Amino acid sequence: MASANSAEAAPEATSGLPAEPRYLPSSVQGAVKILVTGPFGVGKTTLVGSLSEITPLRTEETMTAASSGIDDLTGRGDKTTTTVALDFGRITLNPRLALYLFGTPGQQRFRPLWDDLSRGALGAIAMVDLRRPDESFDVLGRLEEQRIPFAVAVNTFPDTPSYPEDELRSALDLLPEVPILHCDARDRRQSYDLLIDFVDHLHRSSLLELQG
């Protein structure tokens, strides 16, 4: 769901990566759950679609006049649909472990769904649009309140402003241990690199907790 003006209306992700099997290998013995979250129109559906090895489950509905004055479409002129329940994708990390991606709705009125989807999550990728960073405060606050480990993923657009990391960290009021990652969610390779960095962060964080 992303375009040059909207992360949620993207063309098909491009990559030379091979297609993966539709069904889980019989060797898979466990699965972990990762949230892909963020405000309305930031690119969650696009990122899940870029990462998933299967055709993702999407619950998109056409936006109607009923959302006028409720959903801010400023800078999102091409956006005509919105996620109303969840996006779901899957990645087989190794022969014994699968990762399930749950994309959350972005609007405040879907908060009860967000709470349900967050249960049992190992961590979260919190997507941010630097053209509208203030829209991310609510989601970042929820993750901190629920003590869900997360990384900030800056979805880059042609007109995304650039800030030094310390300035961005201060503006988003992030703790030093929260990584700030960057990618174009439409690009599958960049999305995979982001996921690798995020999983590595979760691994290192769990090791530190064990040592503590």
Measured between alpha carbons, how far is residue 39 from residues 42, 78, 138 in Å?
6, 17, 8
Buried b (16+ CB within 10 A) or exposed e, 162-185: ebeeeebbeebebeeebbbbbbbb
Confidence of residue 93 (pLDDT cuts 50, 70, 90): confident
**pTM of the complete model:** 0.76
Asked if residue 193 belongs to a domain, the reply is yes
- Supply the CATH number for residue 87's domain: 3.40.50.300
Asked if residue 17 belongs to a domain, the reply is no
Asked if residue 112 belongs to a domain, the reply is yes
Q: What is the DSSP letter of 75?
A: T
Tally of CB atoms within 10 A around 144: 14
Torsions phi, psi of 194, nearest 5? -60, -45
Q: What is the mean pLDDT of the chain?
A: 80
Strand partners, 182: 154
Convert the pLDDT of each residue in 183-203 to its tens digit. 999 999 999 999 999 999 998
Distance separating alpha carbons of residues 63 and 154, to the nearest angstrom: 25
Asked if residue 86 belongs to a domain, the reply is yes
Is pLDDT of 5 > 70? no
Domain that holds residue 172: 30-211
The total number of residues written for the chain in this structure:
212
Total of domains in the chain = 1
